[in-house]
Structures are given as structure tokens and as C-alpha cells.
Amino acid sequence: MGKSASSQSPQDVDFEVIIVGAGISGINAAYRVKQQAPPGTRLTILEGRDSIGGTWDLFRYPGIRSDSDIFTFGFSWNPWPHQTTLGLGAEIKEYLIQSAKVAGVDEQIRYQHKVTTASWVSGQNYWEVSVSAKNSEKPKLFRTRFLVFGTGYYDYDQPLEAVIPGIKDFKGKVIHPQFWPKDYDYTNKEMVVIGSGATAVTIVPSVADKVKHVTMLQRSPTYIFPLPQYPKLTSFMFALMPSRMAQLANRLLWIIQGYLMIAACRTFPGLVRRVIRAINKKLLPPNIPCDPHFTPRYKPWEQRVCASLDGDFFAALRSGKASVATDTIVTVTEDTIELNSGAVIRPDVIVTATGLKLKFGGGVQFSVDGKPLDPTKGFMWKSSMIQDLPNVVFCVGYQDASWTLGADCAAQLLTRLMWELRSSNATVAMPHLEKPEEMEVKPLMSLSATYLKNINKALPKAGTGSWRPRTHYTADLYAAKWGDIRSGLLIK
């Protein structure tokens, strides 16, 4: 239990590992600790919300689903049980609840426990974690050897404020997808969805049947690729193999073909661009041309390619209930959106699908021996630990592949470090750079989506060698499980 500082013995810790967040990264990390950490490792998960799920408990907008294939987004130790390519939000949350039970960690989650500060005490080699808990007037304090963050990279409490001239003058409804109002009825409404990323591409076909009309208003287009919900090869494997074998084989298949697709985009960008364009032309109605609405200025996979489930986005366009406008906003008035081209849209509701507000480490305030330490100012060691921040692991995933793959590399690195410390009769693992000013600075995430361009200001830096950003899953997993973990790391 958490205790007040005056009642807790400084010679002991409550846990060897505290995991912050009961979303997909946190549940996976808990499984790895339970299965692979030294025997007797005490573990708890602190979750600020009142339910498992993280993103999949928070987001409720129409059509919410994974934006990468669910086979690799799911866990290797509990594969996605269905044959569907993209998981719907409610299905993913149910899967996470079931996975926590399979992992045996569901009883170790403390809900409505929001971590606010973490203070490292060098004399005792532990973290003192302050937690705001429901029904507790005073903060709870927990002491732990290791802190593990499965908190993602965006702010759960505050949306990204869209910079749209005049938006505050609009008298209709303005909705941010992150906080979609419960039971909101948009039947027969004129809706405008501002944005062109995965969220916009998901919302448009999901509301098209009920709204009077929905317009996706984009400043610049993105690549949209139709993805079958029931891939033939996946169905074939499930028909041919025992269920568990088919799940594992299918997951491996999607890992491989995902990286082949990215490699093709980077090696033959012109060819891939032409293929996507040809597919888009075939699916678009005659009144909506490829140019300018589906001709991005960037190369494929410089930003993520958006998936359209069974081509539902294009079906909505063909139905006449949805359209696309590629333009810039001059201003929003009480009842209109005025565009640079001179066009005017008269919406009843505006959805600002323009990205997420970034926040690293759940916004926790760190200090080492009383001295504040901002993790976003340091370099990241093996994309998992921060320079001069002892015994803290951040489960950071991929932007060009399923998040879970990268987060699992961090979790496996954690358990390996715990064994390394035990064999060395040590308690502290801390990344350290002797001359950080000489390190070549690289972005931790390299995609060029508008809101992600600012992510490097909100994330730690990457470098070279042990400080390089993630490259691809097989290399990163090998490095986590068998690679050099002494370079750049102080063990004491």
C-alpha cells in the first residue's frame, strides 16, 4: 500500500517495479516482468483512469479503430483472436481486459492512481513516487526500484488546440475527436471534419450514413490505401492451421509484409505513389478528381499511409454523402467556414481532427536528489531510458509500424537489465554520456505529420550508437535481448 512519508521505512521499497499506465504498453510490460524478471519481483500498475485500456478507453469517436494492422498491434504472447485486419475500439479494449487476465496482472492494477512526481533518492537507490488517488485527501507515496512508463506520447487530459481563425466565433458545435461527447446525435447535421490523417479518414465514412453531409476539409492531402478487413491469406492460414499456430504465423506475416511495404516506399517512392494513385482513381466517383485531393506533396511513408477499411472512405465519397475539400481556411464565422478559394461551407458541427497534444512520460515531474530533471532535454539510450535518469524505462513504440512492437522491445530490455543488476550485485542502471555536447542529434521519431513535426520538442533526443532511434523490429528486439547493454550505461 502507499504510505505517508513519515510512516514508511526508508530501508525498504514497496515494489521492485511500478508500471505507470494500464494501456497496451503497460499490460505488456507487466507480462514481461511477471514472466521474465527475477523471481520474487514485486509489481504494481498505477492507472490514472478508472479502467484498463489507455487510448482505447479514452477515445470514443465514431469508428474508432486501430490505424495499423491489429495482428502486430496485439501481443505476441496473446495474439489477436480474430481474423480482422483492423481492430475496432471496443474490441481492442475487451482484448486488453482479457489479456490482463491471461497475463495474471489484472489484480495488480490500482485504478484512479495518477502519478504526479517521481523523486530519486541516491542514498537508498529507489524512486519515491507521489500519487494522486481518488478518495485520498493526501498524496500516496510508493517506493520502487524501477519505474516503467506505458503512457504513450500524448496528453490524455488536454486536446491539441487547433489554430483556426475565428473558430471561437462559431455558434454550432465544435468537437475534438479525443473528447467526443457521449451520445451526441449528429443525424441530419452538416458536418465538417478538419484534417486528413487517420482520425479524419476513420470518422468520415463512420458518420456518412447518418449526417446530412460530411466534408473532409484538408489543407494538404494524405495517402489513403484500402485495406481488406478479412485478408484472403489470413483466412487461408486460419482454415489450414490450428488456431494458435495460425495466429502466430499470421502475426509474423504482417510484421514481414509491413516492413517490406515501408522498404518499397523508401526504395521506389515513385512507383508506390503511382500504384496508390491508380487504386484511388479506380475507387473515386467521377466528380472527385485525384488532383488535388489525393496527390500528397511528400513521398509515401514520410507520413503514415492511412488505411481505409475495405475502402469505406471511398464508398462514402461514391454515396454522395461525403466529399473532400482541399483548401485553406480564411476564417470561421458564426455559421460558415470561408475558404481561400472563395468557397463557403455552412456546417452545423465542426470536428477538429488536427492531431494530439504531445506529452512525454505522462507529464510526471522528475527529480534526482531534489534537483529537477526534464527527460525531454536528454538523449535516449536504446530508445528506452533517459540520460542520467536511473532505473526508469519508457515503453516507446514505432511511428512507422505497430506501437506495441517497439514498446515490447523496451519491456524485454527492462527484464534483461534486472537480471544484469542481480548478477552484478547492483541496484542501479543509469545511461550516461561523458560528452553529450559532442553527440550527433537525431529525432526520436522521424515522420513528418504536422503535429509530429513538433514532437521532437516534446520528446528526448536520439543520437548514434547505443543512443540511436529505433530502426526496425528485428534489429531492436535483438539489441534488447542479446545486444550490448554495457555501452553508455552505468551499473552500480
Mean pLDDT of 65-76: 94
- Average pLDDT for the chain: 93
Mean pLDDT of 108-136: 95
Contact 236, 250 (CB under 8 A): no
Name the percent of the chain lying above pLDDT 90.
Answer: 86
Sheet holding 337-339, edge to edge: 329-332, 337-339, 344-345
Please tell me whether the overall predicted TM-score, pTM, comes out greater than 0.85 for this model: yes
* Higher pLDDT pick, 444 / 394: 394
Q: What is the pLDDT of residue 400?
A: 81
d(CA 291, CA 116): 49
Mean pLDDT of 404-414: 97
Instruction: Say which DSSP state 81 is in.
Output: -
Residue 285 grid cell = 466517383
- Give the strand pairing for 15-20 and 173-175: unpaired
pLDDT of residue 117 exceeding 80: yes
Name the percent of the chain lying above pLDDT 70.
Answer: 96
Cis peptide before 269 (omega within 30 of 0): no
Burial (Cβ within 10 Å: 0-12, 13-18, ≥19) of residue 352: buried
Q: What is the pLDDT of residue 452?
A: 56
d(CA 266, CA 468): 20
Phi and psi at 336, nearest 5°, equal -140, 165
Place 7 in a pLDDT band, splitting at 50, 70 and 90: very low
Mean pLDDT of 27-43: 97
pLDDT of residue 286 exceeding 50: yes
Q: What is the pLDDT of residue 11?
A: 47
Mean pLDDT of 144-167: 92
